[in-house]
Amino acid sequence: MNIVLFGPPGAGKGTQSDKIVKDFGLTKISTGDLLRNEIEKGSSLGAKIKSIIDEGNLVSDDIINNLIENILGNTNSYKGIIFDGYPRNLRQAQSLDTLLKKYNQKISCVLSLEVNKNAIIERITSRLICSKCGSIFNKHFNKATKDNHSCDPKFLITRSDDNIKTVENRFETYNKETMPIIKYYINQNILKEIDGMQKIDQIYKEIRQIIDSLDT
Ligand SMILES: [Zn+2]
């Protein structure tokens, strides 16, 4: 069983994919992790990736496909995969289909967390982080109190990259890159849209029901 998970920044994609990994024993693949792992392995490809990233360039689709194929080819090492933040463009989506076919696999379903942009901007910009212990709170729906946080309130800060402009840019980029892929999966009839504005547990309940209903 292979699943692709889409969701704009702030939609809680990380939280949901962690739950799926835990309950269904899937292996999570994100390109960031793949690249980091390869660099840490100290392979010659890892060295090449490191120099590309250090120069501020984007790692090519070919290299990413290579890394993904290394995992797909080793079918004993996983039960199924959840792809997080990949595919990032239509070309990658098509390559992924080709690779999966090669190993007699397919994408079982694509989950897309749908959110309201203004609500997400509000959610992200109202996030407070404790600079002392790293705990995350929210000015509105998860306030830091004496009961849940022992540091002095003066340590609570808004993260510098959490300003509205940055969030809007990330949203725009996400929409521009993801819309064509979403359409691609709608055409394959495997896209499932989920209302990402619901509470975390309710979102996960729907995800569970979808995954439970898959035959592979
Ligand atoms: Zn703290």
Domains of the chain: 2-116+172-212 (3.40.50.300)
Instruction: Look at residue 142 in the predicted model and tell me its pLDDT.
Output: 86
CA nearest to 194, candidates 3, 43, 7, 25: 7
Residue numbers of the chain with a pLDDT score lower than 50:
none
d(CA 146, ligand 1 centre) in Å: 11
Summary mean pLDDT of the chain: 90
- Strand arrangement of the beta sheet that strand 109-114 belongs to: 27-29, 81-84, 2-6, 109-114, 191-195
Protein residues with C-beta less than 5 angstroms from the ion ligand 1: 130, 132-133, 135, 151
Neighbours of 188 (CB within 10 A): 13
**pLDDT score, position 82:** 95
Tell me how far the alpha carbon of residue 152 lies from the centroid of ligand 1, in angstroms. Answer: 7
**How close is the Cα of 121 to the center of ligand 1, in Å?**
24
Task: State residue 75's pLDDT score.
Answer: 73
Q: Could you report the per-residue pLDDT of 7-17, keeping only the tens digit for each?
A: 987 788 888 99
pLDDT at position 216: 62
User: Ligand 1: distance of its center to the CA of 72 in Å?
Assistant: 41
Alpha-carbon distances, residue 109 vs 154, 161, 193 (angstroms) = 45, 33, 10
Determine the distance separating the centroid of ligand 1 and the alpha carbon of 78, expressed in angstroms: 38
Residue 191: strand, helix, or coil:
strand
Cα-Cα-Cα-Cα dihedral sign, residues 40, 84, 68, 74: positive
Spacing, Cα 139 to ligand 1 middle (Å): 15
159 alpha carbon – ligand 1 mean position (Å): 14
**Residue 194, helix vs strand vs coil:** strand
Return the pLDDT at 48: 95
Catalytic sites, residue numbers = 13, 88, 127, 159, 170
191 C-alpha to center of ligand 1: Å?
Answer: 40
Residue in the structure block whose two tokens are 């705990």: 135
- The Cβ-side half-sphere exposure at 215, using a 13 Å CA radius, reads 1
Q: What is the pLDDT of residues 112-148, one digit of tens each?
A: 999 888 887 887 788 899 999 989 898 888 899 999 9
